[in-house]
Structure 1
């Protein structure tokens, strides 16, 4: 109802995402993550970027424990901080992460062209609470071998998480199909969608999965490896979901032909893939460093970022998080 009302009345009753972030006390990256996770709902308006309804801001500001409750749900940590939070060694944490025990929530590419994963602190606390046996003592030999022999699942679990986010927010069946198409390479997509008009339309609606911009070709190659499915079973699963989404989209309306698409472009701008506040100019992720240390996506050293600090004890923080969420 709120989305339809905002579409009908234009920008009345809404604010730009940048202003919404400031009113909610969130940094641009935090706001972007809040939108991806569905904690902040945006609305589409004719001819412009997504906006946030004033009612949505008031809903969040009136929530119990605001703003700490909202920021705690958006608290993302790197490997070292994650291991400390869970009370395990970095090696054990990395083994659990590679095995796909929890999905990363975002990533960036550092100056060495290596992928640096971030995880939601709330996800890690939930996993630790449900699986205490995996955090202490010696891992059973059979389980240890199974964990170590698995292919690295971090990129795959991140893709699955992003697709769930994008398809849940898709307001149009063709947008939903475009999300599934976004994780297939051009060859796979051409095989799955033989119609060139449909492929062109899906490409026009293709969402930006990573939200990372880089002038470095090497960094772009790394990002592409993370965003595209590579395993045959994962590719097959996404192709099945794409086929189902395409059937629904075709039933709704056919893909526009190029001349029709161009004639309507001025009247109906394509929806933008993400709804984050306009970012300030900042250096590329792979160039961010200070005295040889890797930096996080916000341009601050990982260990120096001002994030919520849990009280002593994992269980105490978990109880506090659940009380104010």
Structure 2
């Protein structure tokens, strides 16, 4: 029997001397103010047991991890026609790159790079005002986590809106190709606010449980998506969830995961557990440096890699 709490405690103890490594995202002013000396980890198994350590109950800006939840909403609204607007292939480019869009006539490679997530926000906006769409996203995440205290950090949302020049460029570029159906400022309003969701590792791990539970939240018993859709979202997280570092993450960790420049990572061990880590210092690909190491250690010690357990 694996002692998960002992493993989590040991990972935290081992990595504590390295806390603060990496570079905090400073292109969003509000994120630049975050204390780099933070590290939290929460693991929640399918029986609802929580194993945690460090700053695991402190809310942080989940940023691009929110793209998992908005994609789930968009698929619920539009089904497979979602893929007419956004691809399913790894990008091989930076998360905010515009180069690929020009080569591919304004269709983003996948829903987890910024351009793809902006298209997904456009899909979620269908039939809503921006305020209604933002409310729907927040309520959906609250439902997944079974926690109504989850909210958007208004200061982060303002900071993103004030400095999101590349995202404005991406959105206007896609609009010129007819890839967005709503006004650019409305779509970006939804996008900036979803990225400003503030959650703790424990809340985030709870939100991802449906992906570990074959589409069903094992704690509440609610079916969120079909088992097929859960598998497909996990597949996209594995291949595209860490931008142009996705292959490296799959190589070292071997779990579906989605990172955010706030320093968080949501990882899924299908049939076993949902995991969230947070450490603000980022590696050169924009993924949490200490968080990635923590997940690599967890996968190695539990044998949870989707590619098979390590040899004993």
Greater relative contact order, per chain length (Cα 8 Å cut-off, separation 6+):
2
Q: What is the TM-score normalised by the length of structure 2?
A: 0.27
Of structures 1 and 2, the larger Rg is shown by 1
